[in-house]
Amino acid sequence: MTVLETSILELADLTVQRGEIPLCEAVSLQLPAGSICHLIGANGTGKTTLLMQLAGLLPVMTGTVSYQGQAGLPIQPLYVSHQLGIHPDLTVAQNLIFLLNLYGISPSASDIDDALTWVGLQGFETISSSHLSAGQTRRITLARLYLLTPDVTPLWLLDEPFTALDVDMVARMERRLHDFAHAGGAILTTSHQAVGVANQVLDLSDYMV
């Protein structure tokens, strides 16, 4: 399909700050549909802080954020963070269902099977998440990407999505990011490794106070 040049996310003169301490100033960015932006910068520049601001978890004190032409966050973006949000007492399938329910999706058993197969957790549906390794737990949070589309949430904010993944899963993830952007979504992602499908870069080191 042809990707429309719709602005999904715009930042203008944004201050990235931790508490009362500004880390970066005058950060500006445009993410039209089809964008995959690799967010980089030296340690301490506030990459995770910026993603948390854009996810609505931390306040934006200075500057503006526009989401699909509207101020603020009228539609909740997808935010995948270091803090996984997985409940150890729930099964793998129950955790995935909960994560999808947050976006109004009630997945079928087939959907769950397909998503868990995509991340290599087929057969783990009824296993307690407390029995998983860190890498397997990480894959539960990523499994929802298989089922989320730009119609549900046009913006993905991903904080180190490739952490603890093997080469094959990284390749599958990059294909999924490409397909989501090609369908009209936009992605802002941090990563300590190269993001082969990225078509934009935002370097917070350029904006440090």
- One domain for residues 187 and 141: no
DSSP, collapsed to helix, strand or coil, labels residue 17 as: strand
Tell me which H or E stretch contains 52. Answer: helix 47-54
Label residue 94 exposed, middle or buried (CB < 10 Å: 0-12, 13-18, 19+): middle
Among 91, 98, 89, smallest CA distance to 125 is for 91
- Does residue 13 come out as left (phi exceeding 0), alpha (psi in the -120 to 50 range) or beta? left
Could you report the per-residue pLDDT of 89-100, keeping only the tens digit for each? 999 999 999 999
- One domain for residues 103 and 121: yes
Q: Which domain range does residue 92 map to?
A: 78-152
Residue 166 forms part of a structural domain: no
Residue 165 forms part of a structural domain: no
Residue 160 forms part of a structural domain: no
Residue 93 forms part of a structural domain: yes
Could you report the per-residue pLDDT of 2-13, keeping only the tens digit for each? 444 558 999 999
Domain count, the chain: 2
Residue 163 forms part of a structural domain: no
- One domain for residues 57 and 96: no
Could you report the per-residue pLDDT of 99-144, keeping only the tens digit for each? 999 989 999 999 999 999 999 999 999 999 999 998 899 899 999 9
The count of C-alpha atoms lying within 13 angstroms of the C-alpha of 162, restricted to the half-sphere facing its C-beta, is 20
Strands 64-67 and 7-18: antiparallel
